[in-house]
Structures are given as structure tokens and as C-alpha cells.
Chains A and B, each alone.
Chain A
Amino acid sequence: MWNDILLILDGTLRISVPFLLAAMGGIFAERSGVIDFGLEGKMLGGAFVAAAVAHWTQSAWLGLLGSIGIGIIFSMMHGFASVTKQGNQVVSCVAINIFAMGLTVVLANAWFGMGGKTPQLPKEARFLSIELPFAEAMRDIPVIGEIYYELISGHNILVYIAFLAVPITAWVVFKSSFGLHLRATGENPLAVDTTGISVNKTRYQALLFNGILGGMSGAYLSTAHLGFFVKDMSAGKGYLALAAMIVGKWRPYSAMFACLLFSALFAIKDKPEISEMLKGLVPLNLIESFLEMSPYILTVVILAGFVGRAVAPKAIGQPFSKEK
């Protein structure tokens, strides 16, 4: 039992990585007053580019760099449409998501001809598990050693980066002077403008971070988790990350817990033992289907405000113009 719990928690950490990275990216954008439903597209684009670049260069790191590149391109497209041209931000996000859905499959098919898949990456071109020091030695120590061995050690570098991204985001958004401008821009852009700071520039800077993190979340899927890209591989994870961010009330640590909660549901679904336990009570396939949709239902329930009210940054979704 104890071992099962450890394994589920371990799975939870692995699954939570794309959610975490994307949610932190979302916090940057939305705290600055720019809606970001486009995390899904950045994740999908990032996953494809990372897989393609890693396949050509045989380097996972260059793949990661590529995914960051496409993330930035998408977030700058969003910035141009919604910040510079003051278009509808939701429409722009949906456009980017659908564009990414089409582009990744078209390119994958043209370049690799495998029906929207990319070739399996060899070990050298993937992010592999890292054994932390003393993990093997501490393995036999009850509880502490087990937790260290199973849970903390033995992940790939992106897992550690994702969990590092949380305190860094928290520090930048709440402690740095850039974060102060960022939050003020999202709450009261006119006030920021009167202090001589450019609202649009701040929003573009926020979108830069947003693109980096959004792209990285995709790289995890294709170069660390699976080792190849398949079409629609983000499968709504970008939207769930967005939901986690809203549930976490646009705060990094709270968003992290929401991400972990969603991931735990996915991790439980992947464990046949759990279904096995409930087998006598309900038909097996019903449990599986229910577990599969539980993160989505939970998101709806939480968004409906049954678990406290989420208040968005005040100026979210509104383009800034000095004339008004």
C-alpha cells in the first residue's frame, strides 16, 4: 500500500511538469492583463519543434531551445494581435491553438511522413532520469530513504526545472520591481502609464516569459515523457494548466497545488491497482471512464466557484490605449 502511494505520487510529479510550466507561463501573461487561452497551442507547438530538432541534432537541449523559440513566436503573435493591434484576445488565442493543431501535423507529415508522428528519439536525444547522489545508498532507509529514492531522485532535468520555476515565478512576480510593474499593469494600466512605464512594453516582456515557459512545457511531453511527437499530443493539457492557474487565483504556489491535484487524478487513472480495488463495486470500464474525465469535471466545478471565488486581474482582456 505504502509503495503504491509512493508510486502514485511519483507519477503525479512526472505528469504535473507540463501543467506547472504552462501554468507559470500563464501567470506571467494574465498578471500583466493579457488573457492566455493559447497555452495549449504553445504546448503543442513546443512538443513538435522539440521532437523535430532533437531528432535532427540528436540533442535534447537544442530541442528544448527550439521549443522555447516556437513558444516565443506564438506569444509574440498573440502580443501583436492583442497588445499592438488591440484585437480580441480570446479570438487570438483560439486562432493560435487551431493554427498550431494544423501546422504541427502538416509539418510532421511533410518532413517525416509518418502520419503526424515524429521518429522515436534515441536515448541520447532525450532527457533521461537523473540519479541524485546517495539515492541508491539511502534506498533501504525506511520512509525518508524511500521518499528520497522514489520521489525526489530519478527524474529528468525538466522535472526539477519545472519545480524550480515555481519559486522563481513567485519571486519575480511578487518580489522584483519588474513584478510590481507587471501586476500593476494587469490591475491598473493607466496608473502605470502615468509613472512613465510603458504598459505595452511590460506586456510584451510578460509574454516573452509566457512563450518560454509555454514552449518548454511542450518539450517535456515529446523529449522527456514519450520520446516522440504525435498529433494532438497536448490533448487539453494547456487548458487544464490554465484552469489550474485560475483555481490557484493567479498565484504560483496555489497554482502548483492545483496542478498537482489534476496530475494526481491522471496518475490514479494510470494505476490498474486502484481500478482493481473498486472492481467489485462498479463495472471496471465505468471507473476508467470516470477517472479519465474527472480532471475536466473538477475544473468545471472549481471554475463554477464552488471552491472559493477566483478574481482575475482587473484589466485582463482589455487592450490599453492612452486615448481613453
Chain B
Amino acid sequence: MSERQVNDLVVTLVTVTNLLVAFFISGLVVWALGEDPWFALETMLYGAFGYDEGLGYTLYYTTNFIFTGLAFAIGFHCGLFNIGAEGQAYIGGLAVGLICLWLEDWSLLIVFPLAVLASIIFGGIWGAIPGYLKARHGSHEVVTTIMFNFIASVIMVYLLSHILRPPQEMSPESRDFAEKVWVPQMHEIFDWFGLEITQTPLNGTFFFALICLYLVWRFVWHTRWGYELRTVGTNESAAVYAGINVSKNIIIAMIICGGLSGFVGINEIMGSSHRIMLNFQAGIGFTGIAVSLIGRNHPLGVLLAALLFGILYQGGAELSFEVQTIDRHMVVLIQGLVILFAGALENLFRPQIEQFVKLVVLRTT
């Protein structure tokens, strides 16, 4: 085995171990609440995979987490800790919704790219302002992006309850978009090929998310811009010395973060609810942090981790339905533990695992 392969193996084992520890502690919490952790696990897995509909929901959630996971990963490569995906998704989603309301007579083939563009612009601006403040004024992005989450939330409450709400309606939501601009749902897409599956919120945005994974991979590892971005993230002074414009890269990274987060709106608003709603992005942005950290900020890892959290979300919903004492927020608790062990304590078991791998490798070669 080459040194790189050994290193990859160690990294994978470390990540898996950290995940298992986080799950183990979550299991302890379930046990402490007087429930059977094995039954909980079984229920979750059944809920996530056991039947057609569950699987559809799992992949639907996965789509969201791919976007916010990538959003966090891009920032991380540039040395940024962007916890503003919530607000960026909210504002980006607003733009998606506005495009749909505005151009609802147009064909989806035109509206979809425009919605993507609008999301990049709106979400991008929402990310770019903290990015600019970080680059030029040194304001810590964790505090500013959190503040922008709150500001976004107030703006959306205002817009939805006073501007976008149809006068005769009570709840703070926009009116429904015309069916023409809905992203086709997965059962419709399968239907084109003569296949029949259960109807779930899963829609064509899932394929768009896979394209985004590929594009981010190309961008970060195979373009000059991606190289600059990573240089800034790894060693800022080296980047300056190499003639890289650090401020520009920070701002660009934050714009990409914002744009990617905004795509949550495409999945949620254009693909599923078909109207702008309050808190459609709730929690998805924060989950992106855990997704990215577990996925080691690599698109392939993000895909797997997004799937994992899709399972947790859908399985968690099933679990809270089956077992009354366990709330859906169990998933949030697991997220916190995952961030703690895979992020802050990532090197907790590393020395032991390194030693173990070396021993095994030595013995086999």
C-alpha cells in the first residue's frame, strides 16, 4: 500500500469511528429516556429505506443537505466558517419563489435557469456582505453570518405576512405558482419512461444536486480559481506572497456558498411546496455543517454524509411518530454530537487508529 492509500484508510477509519461514537452517545440518550436504542435504530432504518415512500423522502432531504453541505465545504476550503447557510437559503429561496411568481407563464426550460441565477444573485449577496466585511474589516464571519440569519428571518416574516400573502388568506405564505413552473416530481419523471413509483416530494432537483457535486469538485480541484481558494484557506500569508488576492477569494467563496445554499429553495419551493413559506429552510443550513465535516469537505464525502443525514431526518420522523417520547429534535442532538466528534475532536482516536493501521499494513506486506 502506498503512503497515500494508508492515509486515506486512516482518515476513513477516523471518520467512521467518530460517527460511531456520536451515534453511541445518541443511543445512550435514547436509552436514558427509557426506550430501546436497537428498536429506535430499526425503526429509523425502516422509515428511511423500508418502503418506497420512505426512500423518496430520504432522497428528498438528501438533496437539501447536498446543497448546504457543499456551501459549507466551499467556505471551509477558503478558511471560512460559514454558518449562514440558513439565511442564505432563505433569501436565495425567496428569489427562486419570486421568479416563479413573476414568470409563471413561461416554460420551465427558461424559468429553471433564471431561478438558479436569481438564487445565486440573492443568496450570493447575502453571503457576500459578511464575506466583504470579513475580507476588508476583519469581522468574524461566524458572528456576522449568524446575524444575517436573524435579519433574513425578520425580512421574510415581514414579506410573507404583509407583501406576498394574498389578501384573503390567513397564513403567511405566498400564493401557489402555476403548475407550468413546477420542477417535475420524481414519479412524473419515472412515468415518462413507463415506470411507476410512489409519489413523494422527491423531484428533479435531485439530479441538479448531483450536477452541483460534480461542478464543485471540478471547481475546487481542477481550476485555477479553486487552487487560489484552497491556498487562501491553507495559508493566507503564503497566498499573499504568491500574489493571490485574498479578499477577492473570500468574497467569491462566500458568493458561491450563498448561491449553493439558495438552491435549497429550488428543491423546497419549486419542487415541493410550490409557494414561498415561512421557515422552509429551517435547520437545513445547520445540518450542512455536520454534513460537510463528516464528508471531509469533499463532494463525494458530502454526498455520502448528505445521504446519512437524509436517512436520519426521514428515519427520525418515523421514529418520533412511532415512539412518542422521542422528539424529532433527536436529529439535531445527533448533529451536535457529530460536529463535536467529527469536527472539534477529530483527532481524539487518531493516534490509536494510525498505530493500528500501521501494524496491520506491516503485517500484511
Which residues on A are within 8 Å of B, measured CB to CB?
A: 37, 77, 80-82, 85-92, 94-103, 105-107, 109-110, 113, 116, 231, 236, 239, 242-243, 246, 283, 285-286, 289, 292-293, 296-297, 299-300, 303-305
Contacts and interface: CB of A to CB of B under 8 A. Distances in A.
Contacts of A246: 143
B200 interface: no
Interface string B104-132: 00000000000000000000000000100
B7 to A, nearest CB: 20
B148 to A, nearest CB: 7
B337 A99 contact: yes
Contact of B329 (A77, A109, A289, A305): A109
A90 B339 contact: no
A172 B337 CA distance: 34
Contact of A293 (B150, B290, B334): B150
A304 B129 CA distance: 11
A237 B80 CA distance: 23
Interface of B: 29, 33, 81, 83, 130, 133, 137-140, 142-144, 146-148, 150-151, 154-155, 157-158, 161-162, 286, 289-290, 293, 324-327, 329-337, 339-340, 343-348
The majority secondary structure among interface residues of chain B is helix
Contacts of A80: 345
Nearest to B335: A98
The majority secondary structure among interface residues of chain A is helix
A306 B161 CA distance: 33
A170 to B, nearest CB: 23
A297 B336 contact: no
Nearest to B337: A99
A239 B143 contact: yes
B154 A293 contact: yes
A87 B346 contact: yes
A90 B143 CA distance: 11
Most buried by A among B143, B144, B146: B146
A107 B329 CA distance: 10
A190 B306 CA distance: 42
A81 B139 CA distance: 25
A293 B139 CA distance: 19
Nearest to A40: B146
